[in-house]
Amino acid sequence: MSTFINGGQVLANGIRQHYLRFGGKGPTVILVPGITSPAITWGFVAEVFGQQFDTWVLDARGRGLSSSGEDLDYGTESCADDINAFAGAMGLTQYHLIGHSMGARFIMRAAVKQPEGVLSLSLIDPPVSGPGRRPYPGQWPWYQDSIREAQQGMDAEAMKKYCPSWTEEQRQLRAEWLPTCYEPAIRQAYDDFHQLDIHHCFHQLPAKTLLMVAGKGGVILPEDEAEIRELLPTIAITHVEQAGHMIPWDDFPGFFAAFGTFLGAPLQAEAQP
């Protein structure tokens, strides 16, 4: 039985923000996906969170059905402000923040800028690149080429060269929604991975924090974990050993098992839908 409630739009931080809501009961979760993942592509994950949480999945600006176009600022600070403004506009006063990749960097900044009401942060394999640091392992042409090809029209079979391990349904969904990813917005986020160092945020985080590491992602290495633990000794670090960077796609049950009881109760998903 689906936990999906509805999708909607709200004016917050001066832009239209689109969201999907699941569950509607229990503690509140705000989930911010990664660099080229509109909210709908995380629906299969949100369905599980919706079993126990009032779950809101956001389209970051320049993606999905949220505001887009050349007149917007797509930098990390503006996107962090969007999250805080969304919570205010929807009357969400206490919430868990969950962010994947780019979304993890956004929720870190959002929590530092507006700590009130943040119950916890779950950082799912965030890029730890930055000035003078190891580059982010994802290469820009992969993003650019897939977006441009999707804009011309592609199907699940064509998407296989970019996401070979995904199911046909997942590839079809990505092919359908990737054209909503505004290339300059994606480029700004990608550049921020390398130009903005998020490490200074760790010691400022206002609530308990979980770092989830993809064992095969190559994004976070043991030396990165050691540095982060020095910056935030209380951080909980968990691993999904058989997953790449897109953890729920690679190990769906393992993704939820990795939370343990961090959010207050264990999450369970038997198999990927």
- CATH number of the domain bearing residue 43: 3.40.50.1820
> Is residue 13 situated within a structural domain?
yes
pLDDT score recorded for residue 11: 98
Q: Grade residue 149 by pLDDT with cuts at 50, 70 and 90.
A: very high
Residues 84, 91: Cα–Cα separation, whole Å: 11
Is the pLDDT at 271 greater than 80? The verdict is no
11-61 tens-digit pLDDT: 999 999 999 999 999 999 999 999 999 999 999 999 999 999 999 999 999
Alpha carbons 78 and 41: distance in angstroms, whole number: 23
Beta bridge partners of 58: 19
pLDDT at position 270 over 80? no
- Domain tally for the chain? 1
Residue 252 inside a domain? The answer is yes
Question: Tell me, what's the pLDDT at 269?
Answer: 86
* Total-model pTM: 0.98
Q: Is residue 209 one of the residues assigned to a domain?
A: yes
Kindly report, residue by residue over 114-137, the tens digit of the pLDDT: 999 999 999 999 999 999 999 999
Please report whether residue 107 resides in a domain. Answer: yes
Query: Which tens digits make up the pLDDT trace of 59-79?
Result: 999 999 999 999 999 999 999
Average pLDDT of the chain is 97
H/E run at residue 174: helix 168-177
User: Residue 85 above 80 pLDDT?
Assistant: yes
Q: Which of 102, 100, 76, 98 is nearest to 22 (CA)?
A: 98
pLDDT of amino acid 89? 98
Quote the CA–CA distance of 39 and 228 in Å, as a whole number.
Answer: 28
Per the domain annotation, does 143 fall within a domain?
Answer: no
pLDDT at 272: 73
* Structural element, H or E, at residue 227: helix 222-231
| Digit-coded pLDDT (tens) for 227-258 | 999 999 999 999 999 999 999 999 999 999 99
Q: How many CB atoms lie within 10 A of CB 171?
A: 22
Query: 58 and 29 in contact (C-beta within 8 Å)?
Result: no
Domain carrying residue 36: 4-134+184-189+196-257
Q: What is the pLDDT of residue 182?
A: 98
User: For residue 147, is it within any domain?
Assistant: no
Structure tokens at 219: 């994004």
Within 10 angstroms of residue 161's Cβ, the number of other Cβ atoms is: 12
- Evaluate whether residue 235 is within a structural domain: yes
Helix (H) or strand (E) holding 149, with range, is helix 140-152
Q: How confident is the model at residue 190 (pLDDT cuts 50, 70, 90)?
A: very high
- Map tokens 């003078």 to a residue: 132
Q: Is residue 46 part of a domain?
A: yes
Going from the C-alpha of 83 to that of each of 58, 122, 151, 270, the distances in angstroms are 8, 15, 27, 31
Give me the pLDDT at residue 268, please.
85
What pLDDT, on the 0 to 100 scale, is given for residue 143?
Answer: 98
